[in-house]
Amino acid sequence: MESEEADANDLALGRTVATGHSYVTFSYIAFVTIIGIFMVALSGVGMIEMHAGGIALLAIVMISVGAVVHFAAVYSGKHAPLLISQTRIFGSFTVKQRTEEMEVSWSELVAYEFDRQGYLHLEARDGAIYTIYVGWYSEPEQEQLHAFCRDRMRNRDLGDHRHTSERIS
């Protein structure tokens, strides 16, 4: 029962960002497909005149935009989700210019800071800085994350009492 209660207290952020970008990708694909079929149909009955160069240019533009939208969906699906519990924080952190999924224990952290560019920086006792982008979270999610970090830092049992920044962008 206690493990179920611990799971209920976990804070999962960023899933709506990833889901939203996936919906945009599928909506764009549907839109491009409908427009393409419509244009081919109109061209076939002689209502519009399209040359091979015009069709190729249109296809290149639509594929390029689709690739950007797809990249955003894949990137946010991998890097947006963040799971926070009473003992750890799990997400895609950047440490020493490398980004990887990792779990960081709250007991190892001595400070945190939200910067104006939308990043959360967590400082470990050994001096390592863990950075994750949280600027794409909604305002309520950012406030919830800020409150959770503040509470965890207040409750930590560390001998190092460095100043903990509580700014949020």
pLDDT per residue as tens digits for the range 120-151: 888 888 888 888 888 877 788 888 888 888 88
Q: Judge if 59 and 92 occupy the same domain.
A: no
Residues 6+ apart with CB under 8 A from 45: none
**Stretch 90-107: mean pLDDT:** 79
Structural domain total, the chain: 2
Q: Going along the chain, which residue ranges are E strands?
A: 11-13, 82-84, 88-95, 98-105, 109-114, 119-124, 129-133
> Which residue, of 79, 111, 136, is where some domain finishes?
79
> Which residue, of 63, 79, 95, is where some domain finishes?
79
Is 4 inside a domain boundary? no
pLDDT tens for each residue of 14-70: 666 666 667 777 788 888 888 878 877 877 777 777 777 777 787 888 888 888 877
Q: Judge if 53 and 98 occupy the same domain.
A: no
User: What does DSSP say about strands 98-105 and 109-114: parallel, antiparallel, or unpaired?
Assistant: unpaired
Q: Judge if 37 and 98 occupy the same domain.
A: no
In 3D space, the residue among 105, 77, 81, 76 whose CA is nearest the CA of residue 91 turns out to be 81
| Contact (Cβ atoms closer than 8 angstroms) between residue 111 and residue 164 | yes
Indicate the residue type of 156.
R
Q: Judge if 68 and 88 occupy the same domain.
A: no
Supply the pTM of this predicted model: 0.56
Is 165 inside a domain boundary? no
Is 92 inside a domain boundary? yes
Q: Judge if 88 and 146 occupy the same domain.
A: yes
The boundaries of the domain holding residue 126 are: 82-155
